[in-house]
Amino acid sequence: MIRIIEPRFSEEEKLAINGILESHQITRGEWTKRFEEEFARYLGVKHAFTVCSGTVALFIALKAIGVEGKKVVVPAMSFMATIDAVLLAGGIPIVIDVDEYYTMDVSQLEHVAKRYKPVVALPVHLYGQTANMEDILYLSERYGFLVLEDAAQAHGAEYKGKKAGALGHISAFSFYASKNVPMGEGGVIATDDDALAKQVKKWIDFGDHPAFNVRITEFQAAIGSIQLKYLDEKNRRRRQVAKRYEEHLSGYLTTPSEREGAYHVYHLYTLRHTQRDRIIQHLKDRGIDARIYYTYLLNEIRDAEHMPLERATRFKKEVFSIPVHPYLTDDEVDYIIEGVLSAAQVFIT
């Protein structure tokens, strides 16, 4: 089976893990500090705090802002953690539609900003491409809300020369096993804002109020630090694979397009087709893993007010993703293209 997600590790990680075992400093030591510094430097922000998951990173970022009883705008298409974090932090989610790039629709954002006076917009850089941050930040100034980026799928993505996670006021990353920087489990809250960073710290170092232990171990930090070194190179390979898919598949299915000014890092390569279930089966029969991200809209799985979701509702029925990880060989890429094209001949009319 050609897997859709494939974290890989080398001697470098093994050596680091052995070193940690021998040092007996297995949590909150040099590796964790180093990773936080490296990640902040990589993004170009002052603060990066490691936590145990992306969901917890979102939750703490929302708590740091203070969203209890207040409205938070989320896009309809994302992993459920995006809306769960809002609900757990005591916020009231308002779900809006996506644009043609699968990210927060800015015209609906303006509409709900006027009508609901939200405190936060939570754009998700879905599949590895940033939302329309220029317009979102313009609306944030105009209507006085903060922007929390869900950058769980966008390590290394850029928009107009700045890294995803450094575009809004605060951001959350996940280092779950499938992500472009995999750690197994883990998260980061990043911000350039000292006041927000101070609030974040209260949820990390036990102190002012009851909090959870959200630490990661040295093992995770070491893996994250080593994986981060190769992130840019691996993202370049993802883009190369995506380019080949685009060249061969765009006449037959709806391929992802890159927003002007964006650097897409293809965490997932997501196609659209009305016959997607049959295409997925056809690919699986040929040993190619293809999956749907996601089978639900956020307002369908949790109780939330929502705007008309015309695009998201259509996209949900048509999207499916094929392998795009950096370890695919050229032969595998050709095999996947052949698989999709042969499905195209059977099912595409």
Ligand X SMILES: Cc1ncc(COP(=O)(O)O)c(C=O)c1O
Site residues for ligand X per CB under 6 A: 53-55, 78-79, 81-82, 124, 150, 152-153, 174, 176, 187
Annotated catalytic residue: which of 179, 284, 316, 317?
179
> By C-beta, is 119 or 214 nearer to ligand X?
214
CB of 185 to ligand X, least distance (A): 6
> By C-beta, is 99 or 150 nearer to ligand X?
150
> By C-beta, is 148 or 196 nearer to ligand X?
148
Q: Which amino acid is at 338?
A: E
Q: How far is CA 6 from the centre of its chain?
A: 16
CB of 33 to ligand X, least distance (A): 21
What DSSP line would sit under 276-302, residue for residue? HHHHHHHHHHTTB--B-S-SS-HHHHS
Distances (CA, A) of 70 to 55, 65, 79, 93, 255: 19, 11, 22, 8, 37
> By C-beta, is 52 or 322 nearer to ligand X?
52
The tokens of 31 are what? 């590796």
Helix residue spans in 203-266 (DSSP H) = 218-229, 231-249
Dihedrals phi, psi of 235, to nearest 5 degrees: -65, -35
CB of 153 to ligand X, least distance (A): 5
Q: How far is CA 236 from the centre of its chain?
A: 17
CB of 49 to ligand X, least distance (A): 14
CB of 51 to ligand X, least distance (A): 9
Q: Evaluate whether 91 touches 71 at the Cβ level (below 8 Å).
A: yes
> By C-beta, is 93 or 187 nearer to ligand X?
187
Angle subtended at Cα 46 by Cα 41 and Cα 49, rounded to the nearest 5 degrees = 85
The tokens of 60 are what? 């703490």
**β-bridge pairing 146-150 and 120-121:** parallel
> By C-beta, is 20 or 124 nearer to ligand X?
124
Please say if 70 is a catalytic residue: no
Q: What is the DSSP letter of 126?
A: G
Q: Evaluate whether 170 touches 198 at the Cβ level (below 8 Å).
A: no
Residue nearest ligand X, Cβ-based: 54
Q: Evaluate whether 87 touches 302 at the Cβ level (below 8 Å).
A: yes
CB of 133 to ligand X, least distance (A): 16
What DSSP line would sit under 81-111, residue for residue? HHHHHHHHTT-EEEEE-B-TTSSB-HHHHHH
Q: Which amino acid is at 268?
A: L
Q: List residues with catalytic annotation.
A: 179
